[in-house]
Amino acid sequence: MKIISYNVNGIRAATTKGFISWLEEESPDVICIQETKAQLDQMPNFELHSIGYKPYYFSAQKKGYSGVAIFSKQTPDNVEYGMGIEKYDYEGRMIRADFGDLSIISVYHPSGTSGDERQAFKMQWLSDFEEYIKELSKTRQKLIICGDYNICHREIDIHDPKGNAKNSGFLPEEREWIDGFIKSGYTDSFRYIYPDKKDKYSWWSYRFRSRERNKGWRIDYCMVSENIKDWIIGAEILDNAYHSDHCPILLTIK
């Protein structure tokens, strides 16, 4: 089973850059999308259906902002839209699809780069999200949580750890949170396959020719609950896809 996670930074923009033909060629069983930045009537539904995908969306109330989706070849048994927490669901940050006893989540963690207020929102979200997942795992024990976490975990995950030590996305408290989340029972699938691989990133600034120079950050993850980590047979960063300032990440499971 192939699962891809991809922050497309606008599904409409990505579609004009060849996203649909790329998706057809890559052919994952499930793709988790973040930052759709679109409402239901703006989504490429015809194109997705034509290549065999059933799309499920959870958009932000604010137009042109945030939003997550899951596209699946198989019809899920159940789809849950949001976390049931109004201030987060207003921003369209999480969607879950259940396939038997396996649940796949597409999540878009907030960014704190715009200032102190959003950084505080991000830290509160991280705390509330962890509590939500802890509660969810009591009934849905086999979880794959894919998405843009907006955090680099370790120095190996960022091109310039010293220069970014005080920047949102690599702050000590953020790194401590993701470290604690993993220790609470989750496996970073990429590091499971490649524990020491350097210079592999999933996001690059549009400024300073960052992608061309590979000055990036690894902030996108497919986290797998510890009880199914032995299902992981492959994990890759698909950095030859250019529809966004992010690139897709791939998880292959038994």
Catalytically annotated residues: 148
Query: Over the Cα atoms of the chain, what is R_g?
Result: 17
Residue at 14: amino acid letter: A
Q: Is 111 left (phi over 0), alpha (psi -120 to 50) or beta?
A: beta
The phi and psi torsions of 180 (rounded to 5 degrees) equal -65, -40
Residue 3 corresponds to which tokens in the numbers above? 């699962």
Helices then strands, each counted (H, E), the chain: 7, 14
Neighbours of 120 (CB within 10 A): 11
